[in-house]
Structure 1
Amino acid sequence: MNKTIFAIAAVFVVLIVGLSSVYIVDEREKALVLRFGQIQQIEEEPGLHFKLPIIDEVVRYDARILSLDTPAIEVTPSDDRRLVVDAFARYRIEDVEQFRLAVGPGGQRAGADRLASILTTQTRAVLGADGVTSNTILSEERSDLMQRIRIQADARAEDLGLEVVDVRLKQTNLPNQNLEATFDRMRAEREREATDERARGEEAAQRVRAQADRTVVELVSEARREAEITRGEADAQRNNIFASAFTQDPDFFDFYRSLAAYERAIQGSNSTMIITPDSEFFNYLDGTGLDARTTNGGVASQQ
């Protein structure tokens, strides 16, 4: 019985020791074998590996390209217009041994913090360099600036065993205290442009109105001239007709003119005229004019 228990215990111990001496490295990982905190092995190849049980410790690190977002920082370009920028980086652990020596047991978290500090420093240095203005940062030259930040950050990250693959500026904004002043300046500029546009529009409108007024005056003058010519020709034709009619029958023409005078003089139901009864105006009303016309006609017929 005791031998059986001892055998089972021995098998269990052997099993534990055997399992603790074997570890697997994933293709997405790099591993270090530490013994009392000292690096004994560096395993970058995926597969099954061995170590001393219980004594050795396996520390794993991600071998893939990692992302790092840096906090927003305020930079001052050479034109003294302060900007708030935030960036992100792509990096990977290139030298896992150097990385362990640099960051110690803090691991990838400590390495990311150290790299963020490097990126912040290099971003301020590049964006605040001579010749770099806020317009440069916001223009197509932005990609060149990001490349410079990457190169300088990568050179300093070598001491951490890291390789900086890419750096990008995500946003570039004005500080909150400068936004209102910038908006006011933009608003004043747009209002000035609007005032200029309205002034030019009013000037063009005045020219159009002046041209239209001149055209109206010319058209009205021409129409009046043609109307006066037509009216004069009509009056002349009318006078010729009257003259022709007068020469044909002077007495009838006098009679017609008298009737026209009566029509103009006696209008409405309340027309009053004060005139002597023997006035020549009423010759054709009292029969005198008709007798004279008859007499003259008879004389004319006798002659």
Structure 2
Amino acid sequence: MNKKGIIGIASLIVVVLLLSNSLFIVNEGEYKVVLQFGEAKKIHQDPGIKMKIPFIETVTSLPKYQQVYESNPTPILTKDKKPINVDNYTVWRIKEPQKFLQSLRTVTAAQGRIGDAVYNTVRRKLSEVEYGNIISENTARGNLNDDITREVSEMSERQNYGIEIVDVRIKRTDLPEENKDSVYNRMISDRQSIAAGYLSEGDEESRKITSNADRQARELIAKAESDAKKIIAEGEQEAARIYNDAYGKDANFYKLYRTLESYVTTIQGETVIMLPIDSPYTQVLLGNK
């Protein structure tokens, strides 16, 4: 091979090396940071082929998508002094790459800062809440997650980390193994005591209702008996008045009527009676009266 051929091949190799060190690709879901002597000079966010100064500038990648950092379970004391192991996770993303590189530089360093901030916030928040409220998913847990997310996000903004805290969630709140039995037994005892209190209150209320119903029943019966006696007395009084009026109009007829009524009472069935001749009954039957 002649000298020109060697020079041509060498030139081609140099061109290829220059191009390979000048061009780079920005993929979807990443930032490409152009560094010069370790300092960020330019940040590319849009996908495509980009250029840099060969051998002088270098390129590093940062994730653009949301990431999940899972904290290690840590022991924490609640307000009622119950030790619990808390397991949580944080959803976050790099929002401002320039600030991120200036403050944290790497994803690993960012996860360390996030872990510390979440742990301190969770420990402080849970120390203000009793265990029974922490384990309730529909009450305090939801408020705690929102409060912790807000506080960690505000801390991140104050420190100019260039990241966004999307969400912080408590996954589990477990009792240490050595404390589970005693705590569970105490919880069972507390619930039994509460149940006994409810039963006692129910019995007391039942007695009050029964006593009130009995009193009302006695009052109603007494009033009904009083009204019945009054009606009977009025009826007897009216009957006596009617009898007196009838008797006053025709004394002989009334006397005959009363005598006939006594016959109905005295002579029933096939009763046989002996009557003297001067008996009022005999006189009536003989037509003498």
TM range, normalised to the smaller chain? Answer: 0.5 to 0.7
User: Unmatched 5+ residue regions in structure 1?
Assistant: 196-303
1:6 is displaced (CA, Å) by 0.9
- The whole-number CA distance in structure 1 between the counterparts of 2:51 and 2:13 is 19
- After TM superposition, list the pairs within 5 Å mapping 1:61-72 onto structure 2: 61-72=62-73
> When the two structures are superposed, what TM-score results if normalisation uses the length of structure 1?
0.59
Counterpart for residue 277 of structure 2: none
- After TM superposition, list the pairs within 5 Å mapping 1:100-249 onto structure 2: 100-104=101-105, 107-129=106-128, 132-139=129-136, 140-158=139-157, 159-186=160-187
1:29 is displaced (CA, Å) by 0.2
Quick one: structure 1 residues 102 and 194, their matched pair in 2 at CA, closer, same or farther if it must change by over 3 Å?
closer
1:88 is displaced (CA, Å) by 0.7
- The whole-number CA distance in structure 2 between the counterparts of 1:68 and 1:193 is 41
Counterpart for residue 200 of structure 1: none
- The whole-number CA distance in structure 1 between the counterparts of 2:101 and 2:77 is 35
1:187 is displaced (CA, Å) by 5.9
Quick one: structure 1 residues 186 and 137, their matched pair in 2 at CA, closer, same or farther if it must change by over 3 Å?
closer
| 2:82 match: secondary structure | coil
1:193 is displaced (CA, Å) by 10
1:194 is displaced (CA, Å) by 11
Deviations 1:258-279 (A, max 9, x none): xxxxxxxxxxxxxxxxxxxxxx
- The aligned length equals 192
Identity %: 28
Counterpart for residue 33 of structure 2: 32
Deviations 1:212-257 (A, max 9, x none): xxxxxxxxxxxxxxxxxxxxxxxxxxxxxxxxxxxxxxxxxxxxxx
| 1:120 match: secondary structure | helix
- The whole-number CA distance in structure 1 between the counterparts of 2:189 and 2:153 is 44
| 2:120 match: secondary structure | helix
- The whole-number CA distance in structure 1 between the counterparts of 2:57 and 2:19 is 13
Deviations 1:158-190 (A, max 9, x none): 332111111111111112232121233356568
- The whole-number CA distance in structure 2 between the counterparts of 1:66 and 1:15 is 37
| 2:93 match: secondary structure | strand
Tell which structure's C-alpha radius of gyration is larger.
Answer: 1
CA RMSD in angstroms, aligned pairs only: 2.3
| 1:52 match: secondary structure | coil
| 1:57 match: secondary structure | strand
Quick one: structure 1 residues 141 and 191, their matched pair in 2 at CA, closer, same or farther if it must change by over 3 Å?
closer
1:21 is displaced (CA, Å) by 0.5
Counterpart for residue 52 of structure 1: 53
- The whole-number CA distance in structure 1 between the counterparts of 2:3 and 2:18 is 22
The amino acid that maps onto 1:40 is K
- The whole-number CA distance in structure 2 between the counterparts of 1:151 and 1:31 is 29
| 1:54 match: secondary structure | coil
Quick one: structure 1 residues 19 and 79, their matched pair in 2 at CA, closer, same or farther if it must change by over 3 Å?
same
Q: Are 2:5 and 1:8 aligned?
A: no
> When the two structures are superposed, what TM-score results if normalisation uses the length of structure 2?
0.61
